[in-house]
Structure 1
């Protein structure tokens, strides 16, 4: 009886699982027809497209000494360029200490920062009036 009871429970359990699955399927309803497909204009062919290599905006040139240590870095960014130089260690100073400070400010090349400036036209000079004529002083004022 144990086997028959367990088989009956298994059938009831599987039926209960199947009922919600059947409830979720919609009844056969009329499905609207798919939308009409329109033919799109053809674009340019792959041969007519040209993809060039993008220009580098930043250029970095490193100069090293014979030991392979970077001594100078030149950076060109857009229209401006600057140079960064390594600070040599003084004596036996350890990096990170005040004497072993390895940072130096960037050195900008003169008259190159920001590129060329546009020259504006000078405004017209204002008209200058001629000086007023000098009146001769009366003879009586000179004698006094």
Structure 2
């Protein structure tokens, strides 16, 4: 029984060694056709650069940063730990996420009127339609 297992073990080792040696012949490569294409140039749209506005306190620390990037606006504020907790403590909490500005309403400002709305407010009747005879 020992001889059979020893023979099988040697055969398995020889098969593994034969598979692990790489072939000396280079691999067969296929030629890919070259196609001349126009180069692609990517440029940013004008005016899409973001705008960052920072508010600082009297000691120069940033208290708030407002970022406007395209149509979206969000505000970043630092996470101040509560009580005597130091940043990185278990009681200090995680980072504070951004606050997105979703909708803004201008309640105190008067709305600009279009010429059509001005004509309606003048209470002047529209001219009569032309008569055809």
TM range (shorter): 0.3 to 0.5
Larger C-alpha radius of gyration, 1 or 2? 1
TM-score (norm 1): 0.36
TM-score (norm 2): 0.38
